[in-house]
Amino acid sequence: MSFELLQPDSLPGALKALAQHGDEAKVLAGGTAIVLMLQQKLIAPTVLVSVGRIPDLAYIRSEPDGIHVGPLTTLRDMERSLVIQTHFPLLAQASGEVGNIRVRNQATLGGNLAEADYASDPPTALLALGTQVTATSLRGERTIPLEDFLIGFYTTDLEPDELITDVFIPASAPGSRTTYLKYRSRSSEDRPCACVAAIAAFEAETCTDLRVAVGAASEVPQRLPAVENLARGQALTDELIGEIAAGYADNIDTLEDIRGSAWYRTQMIRIHVVRALEELRNGRR
Amino acid sequence: MKIEGSFTLEAPIRTVWDYLLNIEEMSQCIPGVSALETIDTKSYRGELQIKVGPIKAAFGGTVTLLELEPPHRLVAEIVADDRRNASQVKATFTSILKSLADGTEVTYTIDANVRGRLAQFGQAVAQSTAKKMAAAFGSCMQEKIDAGETA
Ligand SMILES: Cc1cc2nc3c(=O)[nH]c(=O)nc-3n(C[C@H](O)[C@H](O)[C@H](O)COP(=O)(O)OP(=O)(O)OC[C@H]3O[C@@H](n4cnc5c(N)ncnc54)[C@H](O)[C@@H]3O)c2cc1C
């Protein structure tokens, strides 16, 4: 393993290094994913650009329309943030479900999103929340909705010279109920076999808005707006919940890996969408 | 590891078979294949590059036609390795052609044994990569067939 380690202490410095080395360079944040890939020699960059010394990339900033989370924020800080626990409990939950505490202390949000491993927790919660990712390069800055950012297995919309510089999560309707369910098929510290993030707003018993994202069961986490819309203006009866769960189970092309077969994942989607929606209807937050 | 899939071509089964068996032409339709050379009438040597996210694999190896039942079924054996990723693949490729009312359905099954560093990516990644490659292959073959018909 031989590469040059660059540790720029400013954002422009890091962007310049990435622009210079292009495809030959890799960003290093918490290192939990990339160090494994280097050790296994799956990637062989000639330059590693560490972003750890750039100031002000780790933050959780609350604004009237939502929160901004810096890419270097660790999953542990997100899990423990009072702002996130209060306004986005779903995200605190999903961050807190990742691996084990040693991983969460080290793993960053930017690294989790850029790694784009299908068997991940935060992206599914963030998709349900309508997250926007900001990518910056010397060429400028652009904001990408998360559904367009995540393209496929280990593949994102990022160009080699771009850094994730901000993650924006819009506020949900006041009084929204949310939940995150992670299903593990192996050990208690494992990545998910399937996971469900759900957000619902109610007026009395009537559901006025529903958002459901299912992750880890297919190449990228998915929302199905046509199925979500079945709930709009309706009471979440057992029958309707069953119909929505079937909509997700039937329309997601599930994958097969060591955590479960495609058929098994379809069943897990059905069961966990039912559980998530029952939880929202019954009022737990 | 078993990978399966299918695609449909708008051409009679005989035409599809002939195009598939024209290995040098056909191989141009497989994304990432280069440097294909004929060893003899049944074996070929070539290279295949695949990219999944940040990971690049470059396999070099041979393809040997084991069974040919024109125009319905072919079986080939693939033996390849990727030096940089210290990985080996041994696979049996079976393709079955079926006449449809308006074309031909091509079904493929790859029974692969992957060893080495790339093995950890497993079924899910391999299946999806194969599906994308098959889709690209199918539309490229269709173009070749259509061009051949008008020529
Ligand atoms: C034992 C273990 C268990 C785990 N369990 C889970 C789990 O249950 N659920 C789950 O969701 N995840 C799990 N993970 C994955 C973990 O969440 C990710 O490895 C981590 O979030 C990556 O963040 P990092 O800061 O360590 O990234 P790094 O390893 O530093 O980088 C990862 C990738 O992101 C790129 N990158 C990093 N920051 C940026 C940036 N700002 N802009 C552009 N590119 C960037 C890097 O170039 C690299 O390609 C587990 C990991 C381990 C090791």
Would you state the pLDDT for residue A1? Answer: 62
Would you call B83 an interface residue with chain A, using a CB distance cutoff of 8 Å?
A: no
Would you call B116 an interface residue with chain A, using a CB distance cutoff of 8 Å?
A: no
Beta-carbon separation of B54 and A154 below 8 A: yes
Q: Is A111 in the pocket of ligand 1 (CB under 6 A)?
A: yes
**Which residue in B54, B124, B127 is closest to A43 by CB distance?**
B54
Burial zone of B138 (CB within 10 Å; 0-12 exposed, 13-18 middle, 19+ buried): middle
Would you state the pLDDT for residue B116? Answer: 85
- The mean pLDDT value for A265-282 works out to 97
Domain membership of residue B151 (yes or no) is: no
Count other Cβ atoms within 10 Å, centred on residue B116. 13
Q: Which residue would you say has higher pLDDT here, B53 or A15?
A: A15
Domain membership of residue B45 (yes or no) is: yes
Distance from CA of B118 to the nearest CA of A (A): 8
Cβ–Cβ under 8 Å, residues A185 and A261: no
Q: Which residues pair with A222 in a beta bridge?
A: A214
**Which residue in A26, A156, A255 is closest to B124 by CB distance?**
A255
For tokens 């050379």, the residue is: B37
C-alpha to C-alpha distance for A89 and A86, rounded to whole angstroms: 6
Q: Is the pLDDT of residue B149 over 70?
A: no
Q: Which residue would you say has higher pLDDT here, A243 or B53?
A: A243
Q: At what angle do helices A238-251 and A262-281 cross, to 10 degrees?
A: 150
Closest CA to B93 of B114, B115, B77, B72: B77
Distance from CA of B84 to the nearest CA of A (A): 8
Q: Give contacts of A256 with chain B, Cβ < 8 Å.
A: 123-124, 127
Domain membership of residue B110 (yes or no) is: yes
Chain-centre distance for alpha carbon A224: 17
Would you call A154 an interface residue with chain B, using a CB distance cutoff of 8 Å?
A: yes
For tokens 């890091």, the residue is: A14
For tokens 């750039």, the residue is: A54
Q: Which atom of ligand 1 is nearest to the CA of A104?
A: 17
Beta-carbon separation of A155 and B55 below 8 A: no
Domain membership of residue B70 (yes or no) is: yes
Plot region of A140 (φ>0 → left; ψ -120 to 50 → alpha; else → beta): left
Beta-carbon separation of A41 and B127 below 8 A: no
Beta-carbon separation of A154 and B86 below 8 A: no
Domain membership of residue B74 (yes or no) is: yes
Q: Is the pLDDT of residue A101 over 70?
A: yes
3-state class (DSSP) for residue A178: strand
Q: How confident is the model at residue B51 (pLDDT cuts 50, 70, 90)?
A: confident
Instruction: Assign residue B30 the CATH number of its domain.
Output: 3.30.530.20
- The mean pLDDT value for A77-97 works out to 97
Sheet holding A66-69, edge to edge: A60-63, A66-69, A163-170, A132-137, A140-145
CA A70-A71-A77 angle, to 5 degrees, is: 70
> What is the domain count for chain B?
1
Domain membership of residue B124 (yes or no) is: yes
- Ligand 1 centroid – CA A222 distance (Å): 20
> What stretches of chain A adopt beta strand conformation (E)?
4-6, 25-28, 47-50, 60-63, 66-69, 132-137, 140-145, 150-152, 155-156, 163-170, 177-183, 194-203, 206-215, 222-223, 234-235
pLDDT tens readout for residues A130-144: 999 999 999 999 999
Q: Is A160 in the pocket of ligand 1 (CB under 6 A)?
A: no
> B78 lies in which domain range?
2-146
Query: Could you tell me the pTM of the whole model?
Result: 0.90
pLDDT tens readout for residues A177-232: 999 999 999 999 999 999 999 999 999 999 999 999 999 999 999 999 999 999 99
- Ligand 1 centroid – CA A64 distance (Å): 29
**What ipTM was assigned to the predicted interfaces of this complex?**
0.72
**Which structural domains are found in chain A, ordered by start?**
4-50 (3.30.43.10), 60-170 (3.30.465.10), 178-281 (3.30.390.50)
Q: How confident is the model at residue B151 (pLDDT cuts 50, 70, 90)?
A: low
- The mean pLDDT value for B136-149 works out to 91
- Average per-residue pLDDT in chain A? 96
Q: Which residue would you say has higher pLDDT here, A3 or A247?
A: A247
C-alpha to C-alpha distance for A185 and A195, rounded to whole angstroms: 11
Retrieve residue B118's tokens: 């790339």
Q: Which atom of ligand 1 is nearest to the CA of A192?
A: 8
Would you state the pLDDT for residue B37? Answer: 93
Cβ–Cβ under 8 Å, residues B32 and B58: no
Strand pairing class (A47-50; A25-28) = parallel
To test the contact with chain B by mutation, choose from A153, A158, A263 the residue with the greatest count of B C-beta atoms within 10 A, namely A153
Whether the link from the prior residue into B71 is cis, omega within 30° of 0, is yes
Retrieve residue A25's tokens: 């360079």
Q: Which helix (H) or strand (E) holds B85?
A: none
pLDDT tens readout for residues B70-126: 999 999 999 999 988 888 999 999 999 999 999 999 999 999 998 888 887 777 888
Domain membership of residue B111 (yes or no) is: yes
To test the contact with chain A by mutation, choose from B123, B129, B131 the residue with the greatest count of A C-beta atoms within 10 A, namely B123
Nearest CA in chain A to B117: A40
Say which range, A117-126, A146-155, A162-171, A275-284, has the weakest mean pLDDT. A275-284
Would you call A263 an interface residue with chain B, using a CB distance cutoff of 8 Å?
A: no
Beta-carbon separation of B53 and A154 below 8 A: yes
Q: Is the pLDDT of residue A15 over 60?
A: yes
Q: Is the pLDDT of residue B27 over 70?
A: yes
Closest CA to B57 of B76, B31, B38: B31
Most ligand 1 atoms within 8 A of CB, residue of A98, A100, A161, A195 to mutate = A98
Closest CA to A172 of A92, A93, A88, A83: A88
- The mean pLDDT value for B27-50 works out to 93
Domain membership of residue B84 (yes or no) is: yes
Would you state the pLDDT for residue A285? Answer: 45
C-alpha to C-alpha distance for A199 and A279, rounded to whole angstroms: 11
